[in-house]
Amino acid sequence: MNGELLYLNGQFGPLAEGTIPIEDRGFQLGDGVYEVIKVMNGRPIWLEDHLDRLRRSLAAVRLSVALEGHDLEDVLPELVRRSRVVEGSIYLQVTRGVAPRDFVFPHPPSPTVLAYTRSKSFPTAEEILAGVTLHPVKDQRWARCDIKSTNLLASVLAKEEAREEGADEALFIGGRGVVREGGSSNVFAVMDGVLRTHPLNRRILGGITRLHAIDIARRLGYEIVERSFTLRELVGPNGGCSECFTASTTKDLSPVVRVGREVVGGGRPGPVTLHLLEAMRAEQALLVGMAPPAALT
């Protein structure tokens, strides 16, 4: 397909022709980490932030050595250039590599480093303004959600359950009803005029879009509090939030109009959400040399 180009262990080639040995630990044990990076106007967005997080994930799983010989700051823009992707994403994955199947680490490891590009259309203004719905599910993931691990079965099951319920995204709920994050997104809410989101700890992933949403909100003068809230506080009988949105790499900020059976903000995207999203879209356009997008409203 157009735009699908692979970088695998130092070599560029067609994605469809790439192969990984059966005993790669990423395939058999989920022993790896990954990143997804947005591409606009043929350029990766917030590349250094993503690579910083990749290095943190690799350090957490004791695999920092994997990037030796891979200058990803240069490799990934070159991958995009060769692929001719204008709008889309980069998928980047690093595993502990090939070794006879065993739970303990191979010494030394022979890491697998791969990345590929894919063209993808981002949400239109009409799709954004239609909003998204969230389906609450019990959080049954492992206790190191801060590591962007390839172990995603719990998220797969949660997002499939959300789809079966007619929702766009799962919403992970922890002990005592605490809202943690989405199946592949972070979650924000506007409560009593204050923007709230779960604090960074091992129970959520430190999203790159989350990071920039907080930065943009502060520059725009909004009060930000990184403090958790419960599902009851979000959509409870005593008022709930006035706005809610998710933050993710390929969808930026998505206004939430319903959580479970409860309508949020009258079923329409709220002014804070749209203000932040328009500022983020304008900032991204500036980074890649594009004209600012049209206003959403």
Provide the annotated active-site residues: 148
Q: Rg for the chain (alpha carbons), in Å?
A: 20
CA–CA separation, 251 vs 269, rounded Å? 15
CA–CA separation, 223 vs 221, rounded Å? 7
Among 123, 124, 129, residue whose Cα is nearest residue 271:
129
Helices (H), the chain: 25-29, 47-60, 72-83, 125-130, 153-164, 208-219, 231-235, 271-287
Helices (H), 7-152: 25-29, 47-60, 72-83, 125-130
Q: 230 near 177, Cβ under 8 Å?
A: yes
Structure tokens at 134: 């969230």
Distance of CA 246 to the CA centre of its chain: 10
Structure tokens at 275: 């203000």
Structure tokens at 174: 């922890």
CA–CA separation, 33 vs 135, rounded Å? 26
Q: How far apart are the first and last CA of the chain?
A: 35
Among 180, 229, 225, 224, residue whose Cα is nearest residue 206:
180
Count the neighbouring beta carbons within 10 Å of the beta carbon of residue 9. Answer: 14
Q: Are strands 262-263 and 169-173 parallel, antiparallel or unpaired?
A: unpaired
